[in-house]
Structure 1
């Protein structure tokens, strides 16, 4: 029995003894949810090829956590009892405040290959999606914060300019690091990183919604922004100025 299995079943025994309810909470459920974009799902560190491979090879040694701490990012934690199905394996704890910087040191130091060395461009932690109803760029303003924060920049971000703003769109080259979430001036409210599985389920509707917004007339866009969205944007946004690293 390896270390991770021992930890998992030790917690199970204790919880049974004390009658603790172990209904797993989805990682990130405490973050601001985005309308029509699912909240939660486990986001793994870079180099996790598949969840199955990671769980089979991970020995809960904590090397990735220590390396991330030494690099002063503190993005990775070992899943605890709240994420019981992932207990003892590494996850990204909070992309709003601790996104992955793609330094790629964690897979380089992983002793078992649970995190594998890949090029930054080939990392696939998740997919960042923009909430068009909240993003400043879709609501009459200009904001480039997300694209400036992205380590892959122009290869990931496309812009559509109109009288209603400089409208960003994140294409499928996104690696899901979450830096755009942290540096969104709405405190991350306008961007959410979802798992690849979640993205596949909503992909068609998300792309259709984007095309529908681009096709709106001036009058339709005006009514959408000033009758509906503007109060919502101001109410939900944590207007925080953040310095870039």
Structure 2
């Protein structure tokens, strides 16, 4: 019911957050899954129209890459994120998300290069180092993974004094698993506990501590993409009939 209210208000980011949580508790509910899927499709349709209207706007390309990444359409995500990097070559998060797409496309070497560039550009986001450490650990490069994990620890410790800081629960869980696998991290204290202890317990019990198949990075920023999609739906449409016909063809 709450998700439907957010939909009626046009608040796509809140709606998708509610439906994602609902799917976690009821993963076989076809109605919830259908609604969530339609929200993603709506976001892609709106963002593609926005991209047609403003093809050089890197934020639109970023959001398109993000939504495709969340939908596990990794080749499309790679395409849009690469285009965004051409316009914003100094943004570390773009390289991190590109690395996530490349990892899922099984292009490990280029994923490492993308992570290395993200680490070079970013000096404060521990998520970049954590994702890189996960990839290195999965490739059997434990020494290199440990180095990235320790860099993540330094960033976490620097951020802990922030009164407004709240670490993402998924990040905390994966960091704790990786720390245990590397036999480090026991002294790392997080300022905020995981929000959803039931979800954390379920994931922990269902997964092996030494296996990290899904890098982070997509869910945390998805709300931004959905908000952007909602905004692009309201773009002025006072254009020629021929232009509108072309836009409809692109959306389709």
Q: Report the TM-score when normalising by structure 1.
A: 0.22
Provide the TM-score with structure 2 as the length reference: 0.22
